[in-house]
Amino acid sequence: MSVKSILTEPNKLLRQISKPVESVGGEERKLMDDMLDTMYAAPGIGLAAIQIGVPKRIIVMDISRDEDKKEPRYFVNPVIKNRNKEKVKYEEGCLSVPDQFAEIERPNACEIEYLDYDGKKQLLKADGLLATCIQHEMDHLEGILFIDYLSKLKRSMIIKKLSKNKVNREIF
Ligand code: ZN
């Protein structure tokens, strides 16, 4: 297992649509292990494969935020089957949009069909933070970032700030 570097906006790869995984084998499991390590190290509660530059429809999550009681979740080829009409607002951040937060409104519950770490088909009824997080991560598979829900002005201000930070980071 190893920690990979996380791509940050602006980066064209983050805008790519990820491809479905044909089957869950050793390669996919190694990728999921690396993604989990990377996510815990960041630290974050969710990570999509494209955030480390791999355009596959794979997500890892752990919303427990508990060092001693880790509850990793793995989603391969996730599909939203149902989403609630009722919406809820969360202040969202993203490892690919460092240090930026914004209130985003999403359906407060949803049902997701996916393959797990062993390649077994699963159905998950999610609500609360879990539902918000899975929807945020699934957006990554479509090349969508949470800042895309903001006004054009807010979004471009954030991207400008991030571009500036990037230059600074490269100098050091
Ligand atoms: Zn994100």
Give me the residue label for tokens 């355009």. Answer: 55
Within-domain flag for 127 = yes
For residue 55, pLDDT over 80 is answered with yes
pLDDT at 168: 60
pLDDT band of residue 165 (cuts 50, 70, 90) is: confident
- Which residues lie near ion ligand 1 (Cβ < 5 Å)? 94
How many A from CA of 147 to the centre of ligand 1? 10
How many A from CA of 15 to the centre of ligand 1? 12
Within-domain flag for 61 = yes
How many A from CA of 95 to the centre of ligand 1? 6
Domain interval for residue 155: 12-171
Query: At 164, which CATH number?
Result: 3.90.45.10
Write the pLDDT tens digit of every residue in 14-26. Answer: 999 999 999 999 9
Within-domain flag for 161 = yes
Within-domain flag for 167 = yes
Per annotation, catalytic residue among 111, 137, 142, 170: 137
Contacts by 111-115, CB closer than 8 A, 24 or more apart? 111/80, 111/81, 111/82, 111/83, 112/75, 112/78, 112/79, 112/80, 112/81, 112/138, 113/78, 113/79, 113/81, 114/75, 114/76, 114/77, 114/78, 114/79, 115/21, 115/24, 115/75, 115/76, 115/77
- Is residue 137 flagged as an active site residue? yes
Within-domain flag for 1 = no
Write the pLDDT tens digit of every residue in 24-36. Answer: 999 999 999 999 9
Per cent of the chain over pLDDT 90 is 90
Within-domain flag for 94 = yes
Within-domain flag for 88 = yes
